[in-house]
Structures are given as C-alpha cells and as structure tokens.
Structure 1
Amino acid sequence: MAEAAAHSAPLERDARVVNTRGDHQVHPGEIAIGVIIGRTSEFFDFFVYAIASVLVFPALVFPYLDRLTGTLWSFALFPLAFIARPIGTQIFMAIDRRHGRGTKLTIALFLLGTATCTVAFLPGYAEVGGWSAVLLAILRIGQGLALGGAWDGLPSLLALNAPQERRGWWAMVPQLGAPLGLIIASGLFAFFLGTLSPEDFLSWGWRYPFFVAFAVNVVALFARLRIVVTPEYTELFQSRELTPSRVTATLKAQWRNILIGALAPLASFALFHMVTVFPLSWVALFTREDITRFLLIEMAGAVLGVLAIIASGLVADRVGRRSLLGYTAAAIAVFSGFAPQLLAAGPVGETAFMFMGFILLGLSFGQSSGAVTNNFPKRARYTGAALTSDLAWLFGAGFAPLAALLLAQHLGLIAAGGYLLSGAIATLLALGLNKELARRMA
C-alpha cells in the first residue's frame, strides 16, 4: 500500500496533464463517463466473484460436501465483503483526510484489483485442505475493505453539477455500472463454459475472468483520477461540499439520516440479488438447464435493465425520485408474491422471471442511490453518502443469496419471495419516515 501511495502523485499528474480540458470546466457529461467506468469496474469484480460462488467454489473449495451444502457454504463467505466494507470506509476516509483523495483512490483500487485477481490463483481443497476456504475468506474481506475506499464522491459531484430539473436523469447514471458489469462478467463465464470441457473449466478456465479484473481496475483508476484531480473538484472539496468527515462523528450526528438512507433502497437491493446470483444458483442446483444458456438469458435481462435504468431517469424527473421509489417498491411487493415460482416453470418461466425482474430492477435501482442523502448537511455529505451506501448493501444484499437459497430449500420458492417482500416493506417504511422527518424539520 505504501508503494501504491508513493506512485499516486505521478498518476494524478499524468491524469491531469492528459485529460484536462482547455476551458477547465467540469461538465456533467464528463463526470458521467468517469462514474460509469468506475461503477462498471466495481460491479464487474462483484459479479465475477458472485458467479464463481455458484459455479466454481462449491466444487473447488468444498468438494467434500454435497453440491447444495457446498453452495450454501460458498454463500456464507459472500457477505464478508459487505461486513468489511464499512470498516474500509473508516480506514480510507482517514487516508483521504491525511493524504488526499487521489492517494486513497489509488490504494483502494489497487487493493480491489489485487484481491480479485489473486482469487485466480486460489488453490483448491485438494491442494491445501481447509486453508483454501480461509484464503478465499481473506481475499473476500480484502475486496470489501477496498470497496469501502473506492467511494470517490463522483455521484455527489455529478448531482451538484446537474440541473435541478434533470436530477433524476443524472442520478441514474452511476447505476448503469451494475448491469454493464454483469454483462461483461456473464459473457466471460459463458464463453469459457461454452468452449471448454467441464474439467478444463474447473481446472483453469474459470480463472481468466479474475485476471481481467486487474486490468479493468487500472483503466477505472485512471478514468476516475481524470475527474477527482481537476481544480474544479478540488474547489468543491475545499468548500466542504465533498469533505471527508470523521466516520464516528458522522455516525453520531447523522445516524437518523444514515439509517433512513440505508433502508430506502432495500427493495431494489434485495431484488438485485434475486435476479442475478440467486436464480443462477437455483438453476444450477435444482434444474437440468444449460448454465451457458442461462448466463445468456441473464445478459439479455441486463440489457433490459440498462434500458429500464435510463427510463427511470426520465420518469423520476416527471414524478419525483422518492415517488418512483415508492411505486416500484409496491410493484416489487406484488412481484414477490408470484414471480420467484416461475424459476420452477422451465425455460419459458425462467426467461419471464428474469426479464420482468430486470425491468423492475432497472426502474427501482436507477433511482435508489442517494434518494434521501440531500438530508445531509454539506459537512457530512461525503462521508454520510459513503456510509449510507455501505449499510444499504450490507442490509439489502450481503446475505441475500444465502437467505434466499435457505428459504427456497426448506420452504420453497414462494418463501424466497418473502425476502423480496421484506425489502419492499423496508423501503416504504423508510420513505415514510423520511417524509415525516422532513415535515418536522420544516
């Protein structure tokens, strides 16, 4: 890390020299490019690990267990990144205050890329026994710590530079990284699954997507530094619009806003895993469907998700971001009552579930980021937004694959829908609390 920090200044200088515009202005469209590239790289790392949790780790790390139990243990390691993420935020906010945002971002993304890439070299249970699971857990924690430090404030900068009447449109931009990252990750795994024998895939083919992660993170680092080192961003930083405050102090002063902000997107975050990781595990464990084919369905669904996220920006600017979140949470509650059971209805049912789920996910997820973060005062906005994101992912997504698979195993697919319903209720409750808090403060 110290070596990465030492090289941060040259990276910042190169990014500034190569990319600074002649008019020295930061435009929303330029910020959007950095945001999309950055979020795509993060979600690519996320989905590469998630897909491997279903297709690889049960056989590689837990071969002594039956397939279902091995997958459950693999999913038990999954939330470690989300648990570590708030800790990473606290560590990297301290680095941000002492050494600057460029240093923080450089260390975080190098750590993220290194932790993800190192998974490619993971020895299996046959080579090192139980240490295989221990090593995977350590690397997963490393991913979480890095994600806590990868918060760059670019979504906040984008919001500050967006016209008031287009806030919904620009709010959806960071969310595009999720389906784009899924498309790339699923495409890589589909390619290797479709071209290699099962033995070759489990031996070495699955490792290549993890190699790609480091290169993707290097590209993302430069794209994000290209924005965060501009004089305009520095001016906003110095004016306390995007100043890193101490995590403990922010939690103490802003705990209500952080809690409400973390609960508000739970409907979309729960649905996020119910149409990505969970259905892949269900199809792999309980059906005879071709996994390559299902990954292609997931990619097609992600394309619909991209279009739905874009549509969410248009709709939100007409009806309001909070209203759209409320409407989609109610729709997710309805969806939870019947849709998961489509996974047991064969290829047509699976496709219907995925396509409907991704459309609904795009509309809700597109406006789930920062819907209530305007409640934060300027001094706490930067750190408060990071903590809100950390806790939202922890509560809404971290345990989703494990919880949904356990519920489906013991009580059927309809019980997995109960997890979705709980997220929808949490979102509606948070939006109501936020409205009441705003009324009292008026």
Structure 2
Amino acid sequence: MSAAVIDAPEAEATGHSVSPGEIAIGVIIGRTSEFFDFFVYAIASVLVFPGFFFPFVDPLTGTLYSFLVFALAFVARPVGSFAFMAIDRAYGRGAKLTIALFLLGGSTAAIAFLPGYRDIGALAIALLALFRMGQGFALGGTWDGLASLLALNAPESRRGWYAMIPQLGAPLGLIVASLLFAFFTSSLPAADFLDWGWRFPFFVAFAINVVALFARLRLVVTPEFQRLYETRDLQPERVGVTLRREWKTIVIGAFAPLASFALFHMVTVFPLSWVFLFTQEAPTRFLLIEAGAAALGVAAIIVSGRLADRYGRRQLLGASAAVIAMFSGFAPQLLALGEVGEIVFMLSGFLLLGLAFGQSSGAVSSNFATQNRYTGSAITSDLGWLFGAGFAPLVALWLSANFGLLASGGYLLSGALATMGALWFNNELGRTS
C-alpha cells in the first residue's frame, strides 16, 4: 500500500485521495483538544478546587476529595461510549461528534461559572461532580475512529511510527495547559487567581473544543473518509455484541497499557499536588518544569515510533514496562530532594513515559475482528484509562502522605506488572489460537 494514497479506487471516484498525513492531522487536533480539557481540570483540581469546594477540611484531605471527583470522569466515560455508539449507529459519526464535543465543552465551561462552597454549600460540590461526570460521559462520544483508521492504513513497515501520532496530543495538551496556568498564577495576585483567574483556562478549553469540532468534522463527514471507514469495516457495532465476541481482547487491551497510564499521572497530576502541598515552592515554577518535561515527552514519543518499527511495538511495551517497574522503586523519592530532584524526576519520568505511552494505544487492537475494531477500540481505551489512570492521583497522594514517597511507587509498580502480564497472556493466546 502506498503511504501517499489510500484506497485509490474510492478516492478516484471523488477526485481526492486520502493520505495518512490528513488522518494524522485530524488525530492530533482531536487528541490535543481532549487532553487540554483534561489537564485544565487536573491542574485546577490541585491549585484551586481543594480550597474552593472543600474549605471545611485541611488542604491534604481537600485535595484527596478533589481527586475523588476527578476520578468520576473515568467512571462515566464507558457509559458515554455505550450511549454514543447508539447515536453513531442511528444518526452517524458526525452527529455523535457534534453532540459529544458540545457536551464536553459545555460541561467544561459550566465549571468556570460555579460558585464555591462558601457561597452555596454542598450544592457546589454536587454541581462540580455533575459537570465532571458530564465531561467523562462526553469523552465517551469523542471516539471518531481516526486512530484506528490511521493504524489500518499505515504502511506495514511504519506501523509504530503512525501508532505514536495519536499519543502526541497528551504532552501537547499538557504544555498548553501548564503554560496557561503558569501565566495566570504569575501575573495575578493569589486572591484574584483563586477568585476568578482560574476560570479563564476553562473558557479557553471550550473555544478549543469548538475549533477542534469543525476541524474533525471537516474530515470524518466527507465522502472520501466515509468510504474509507466503510471499506475498512470501521462501523459502530453494538457494545453488547462486541463485549460478547471480543471480551478476551478487550481485557488484554485494557491491561496492556497500564504501566504507561499509571506513569502518566505519576509525572503529571501527582507531582504537582505533592509539591504544592508539601513544599513552600510557588506553583508557577513547577508548572514551567512540567511544560519543559512534557516537551521532552513529545520527543520521546516520536523516538518510540522509530524504535517500535525496528524492534516491534510489543517488545518496546514490555521493555518499557520493566524499566517503569525499576523506576517505581526509587524515582518518587527524588521529589523530596528540592528543585534538582524535581527536575530529574520530571525529565526522566517524561522520557520514560514517552517511550511507553507512545506505543500504548491499541497495542493489541489488531486482534479484533474488523467488524468489532471500531467499538472494541473505544471500550478498550475507556477501561484502560479507568483502571490505569482514573484513581492514580488519589492513590499515589494518599500513599505518599501516609507512608512516604516511596510507597506511591507501589501503584506504578502494579501498572507495570499488569502490562507485562497482559503482554505475556496475549503472546500465549496467540500461540494457542
């Protein structure tokens, strides 16, 4: 298959050929906007929400409560996938994306208007939880199949290269969110930031969602892409049917990326919370460190594509999981060594995250029957994020606060062991099938 032209007969009928590059642009735009939303909420859940919504407890307990609300989106996401797959079957991918992204943007913008606990009491917490679940429910509908389309149409010798493209959205979204919050925390007095300054990134997230929506619709609803989806059997199957037919692949696929998903939060949300709670450092400086480390993560994700094409995606995932297991045994303690330790932890963590996370998406998706790949990939992603990432900040912070920083590595170690176990089981299943 040519890298420049995909599905030539269908493309010629419309006078336009669809290239992997076009698909890649849509994937990056979509993922970056989603992760920007994600990190805007995550950063606010550390810097703002504990005092704003939970002023009746100490800062540590308030942050733990904030992380508990944070996890609600990951619980709601599979439910959203179930509902939006039905919309996809009934009204099409364009309708599904439009509804999902406006719900996501609307839930995000609504958080920016919320009054605090001191204004309306427990109702403020209830509304925060409701809109957080709205974000997660909407994320279940943002699956557009472009990542699967990209994987299916990538040249055989460059599968690893194209597999890493969707993952670039995570560090790119973090860089923009971190820099935006760093700007507001550095340019506003603390009282003003905590009163109204934190709300602006949520408005920006809504605007980015609208732009991303039209950019993605421009691709997925065109005749060229519709034909491409159809010829690749990337059509929504009923969730129940997919679970019944593909439950083994879904379970393996959900556990295979847990090492990178656990590390994802260990180098993004958790260290910000620990530094903010247990040191006297200003959040602006650490947000800048985080943005710089995320830039290294972008480079590492790109390198992962080259390594995967040379040595194999599953081999790279297995090797990186083993290194993550070793990393979990000492790295969290670096956060207690001041600025130098924090920089070393963040840079080494993002370097390792990029290599692992770059190939974690759809690691076993080729095992799906073609008619189940679209729905199966969405379910697998939802469950992987739920098991590997949803409760990571909560568990890591609780462990480190009660048993020391080294204990927080236990969660990371469990993710690494889950990945190695899933990859081993997948290999065994491949030999017997």
TM-score, scaled relative to structure 2: 0.96
- Tell me what 1:5 maps to: none
Match of 1:24 among 16, 30, 37: 16
- Larger mean CA deviation between 173-182 and 22-31 belongs to 22-31
- Within a 5 Å distance, the mapping from 1:168-317 to structure 2 comes to 168-239=160-231, 241-317=233-309
Q: Any unmatched runs of 5+ in structure 1? A: 1-20
Matched, 1:106 2:92: no
- Larger mean CA deviation between 186-195 and 234-243 belongs to 234-243
Q: Post-superposition shift, 1:23?
A: 3.8
**Percent of aligned positions with the same letter in both sequences?**
70
- Tell me what 1:55 maps to: 47
Taking the aligned partners of 1:416 and 1:238, their CA distance within structure 2 comes to 46
Q: Post-superposition shift, 1:223?
A: 1.3
Taking the aligned partners of 1:298 and 1:23, their CA distance within structure 2 comes to 45
RMSD: 1.2
Q: Post-superposition shift, 1:240?
A: 5.6
- Within a 5 Å distance, the mapping from 1:68-87 to structure 2 comes to 68-87=60-79
Matched, 1:96 2:99: no
- Tell me what 2:129 maps to: 137
1:96-126 per-residue CA deviation (whole Å, 9 max, x = no partner) reads 0000000000000010111011111011011
Matched, 1:362 2:357: no
1:134-173 per-residue CA deviation (whole Å, 9 max, x = no partner) reads 0000000000010000000000111122101000000000
1:264-304 per-residue CA deviation (whole Å, 9 max, x = no partner) reads 00000000000000000000000111210000000000000
- Tell me what 2:115 maps to: 123
- Within a 5 Å distance, the mapping from 1:285-434 to structure 2 comes to 285-434=277-426
Q: Post-superposition shift, 1:253?
A: 1.3
Taking the aligned partners of 2:101 and 2:48, their CA distance within structure 1 comes to 25
**CA distance 1:56–1:24, change in 2 (3 Å):** same
- Tell me what 2:139 maps to: 147
One-letter amino acid of the counterpart of residue 138, structure 2: A
One-letter amino acid of the counterpart of residue 298, structure 1: E
Counterpart secondary structure, 1:122: coil
Taking the aligned partners of 2:18 and 2:402, their CA distance within structure 1 comes to 53
One-letter amino acid of the counterpart of residue 136, structure 2: G
Taking the aligned partners of 1:439 and 1:210, their CA distance within structure 2 comes to 49
Taking the aligned partners of 2:305 and 2:184, their CA distance within structure 1 comes to 35
One-letter amino acid of the counterpart of residue 301, structure 1: A
Return structure 1 stretches of 4+ with deviation > 6 angstroms. Answer: none
Q: Any unmatched runs of 5+ in structure 2? A: 1-12
Taking the aligned partners of 2:153 and 2:368, their CA distance within structure 1 comes to 17
One-letter amino acid of the counterpart of residue 236, structure 1: L
1:354-409 per-residue CA deviation (whole Å, 9 max, x = no partner) reads 00000000000000000101000011000000000000000000000000011111
Q: Post-superposition shift, 1:22?
A: 7.9
TM-score, scaled relative to structure 1: 0.94
- Tell me what 2:28 maps to: 36
Counterpart secondary structure, 2:144: coil
Taking the aligned partners of 1:22 and 1:202, their CA distance within structure 2 comes to 54
